Structure 1
Amino acid sequence: MDVVKGLVQERPVVIFSKANCPVSHSMRQLISGFGANPTVYELDQMPNGREIERVLQMMGRKPTVPSMFIGGNLVGGPNDLISLQVQGKLVQMLMDAGAIWIWKRN
């Protein structure tokens, strides 16, 4: 648990992914559209990637990737992210985490 906790507490938005995951690319694009810059960890390119996957699995993530954390808290996968957006909660979460400071809807 400590390895994941350390990685997600360092940055406001963290995505755990694998290099060729198109869904995590979409998650990045959505978050970037708000002006946030997510940190992405490609588990298949990390020496401790399998360990991190086991931790994510213990946290209830199946499949383990893509998984997103905002403000150190597990948000979930793409469906969870879209749900937060539809409910109008995503922007506030990004602001609370310090990922964005101001949001002006066009």
Structure 2
Amino acid sequence: MDRVKEVVALSHVVIFIKSGCCISHAIMILIRGFGANPAMYELDRLPNGVEMEKALIGLGCNPSVPAVFVGRNFMGGSHDVMEKVKEVVARSPVVIFSKSGCCISHTIMILIRGFGANPAMYELDRLPNGAEMEMALIGLGCNPSVPAVFVGRNFMGGSHEVMSLNIQGKLKPLLIKANAIWI
């Protein structure tokens, strides 16, 4: 545990990963996209990596990687963030994650409102935990990360997938099934 604390104190942003972990890689790309240069520690390549991994598990990382620290504070791992996303998605029949300046997200919102639904909009760049939520969305396969659209707690995809559903005549039935609109 002490070695983890020492390492975390050396940089503003620290990510513990394993070399073959694609979620860890996605989180690293996301954080670099915000202009940060995180210190990366590949546990499977460090001589004391096994001990450090045990310490991370002791902090509540399960799975142990990725483990993200910002300003010496443990932000969580992919599982923690995914739980936050699930909580948000469960609050409304239609949820759209966006960013304040994303015109495509705005277009998708207008499309869904055109059916009479009132989607819950979450602008990741305005949420205190938005960066972590964006990491989770990237982990789900969102590339780009916004818009990310959930209908009836199910991930529909981004703008391409939602537009395809609409063109195929499948979007409206999904909105009805999720009780976002009524016939």
Q: Which TM-score band applies after superposition, normalised by the shorter structure?
A: over 0.9
CA deviation after TM superposition for structure 1 residue 62, in Å: 1.2
Q: Which protein has greater RCO, CA pairs closer than 8 Å, 6+ apart?
A: 1
1:62 to 143, 154, 164: 143
Alignment-derived partner of residue 109 in structure 2: 28
Aligned residues: 102
CA deviation after TM superposition for structure 1 residue 13, in Å: 0.4
CA deviation after TM superposition for structure 1 residue 63, in Å: 1.0
CA deviation after TM superposition for structure 1 residue 34, in Å: 0.3
Q: Unaligned 5+ residue runs, structure 2?
A: 1-81
CA deviation after TM superposition for structure 1 residue 69, in Å: 0.4
Alignment-derived partner of residue 77 in structure 1: 158
1:14 counterpart SS class: strand
2:145 counterpart SS class: coil
- Aligned partners of 1:30, 1:43: CA distance in 2, in Å? 20
Alignment-derived partner of residue 12 in structure 1: 93
Alignment-derived partner of residue 3 in structure 1: 84
- Aligned partners of 1:89, 1:27: CA distance in 2, in Å? 15
TM-score (normalizing by structure 1): 0.94
Computing the radius of gyration from Cα coordinates, the structure with the larger value is 2
Sequence identity, in percent? Answer: 52
Structure 1: which 4+ aligned runs deviate by more than 4 Å?
A: none
CA deviation after TM superposition for structure 1 residue 86, in Å: 1.1
CA deviation after TM superposition for structure 1 residue 87, in Å: 1.0
Q: Unaligned 5+ residue runs, structure 1?
A: none
